[in-house]
Amino acid sequence: MNWEIRDLFSDLEILKDRFEDLKDSHGWHFDEHYPYETNHVLNKVEMIKEGVSYHERRIHDDQMFDLLHLYTQQFDHILKKFQEIEKCASVECLATETDNA
């Protein structure tokens, strides 16, 4: 059982790294594509530039959403494995306690 737990911790570390990579990637994207303050009023040239870059941002955001969905599914899978291990451990404890009684 210890190797299963170590394996799951390894999976969690990999998943954490993936989330950090996604955060870094999106942070760069955010800084580059949203250079204006929230209350900044766009002029005509800035409006045209924003309109042209819309599709690029949309593709990037769709990819980011897909990755977040995938990573969340992997996280759920790892949590279910932990729950199975916990359930097996509690069953083994109950079996040992009843054997000793």
Average pLDDT for the chain = 82
Q: pLDDT above 70 covers what percent of the chain?
A: 90
> Which pLDDT tens digit goes with each residue over 35-60?
778 888 989 998 888 888 888 888 88
Are the beta carbons of 85 and 4 closer than 8 angstroms? yes
Residue 71: Cβ-neighbour burial (10 angstroms; 0-12, 13-18, 19+):
middle
Between residues 80 and 3, which one has the greater pLDDT?
Answer: 80
Q: What number of other Cβ atoms are within 10 A of residue 31's Cβ?
A: 9
How many separate domains does the chain show?
1
Is the pLDDT assigned to residue 21 strictly greater than 90?
no
Write out the residue range of the structural domain in which residue 38 sits. 2-100
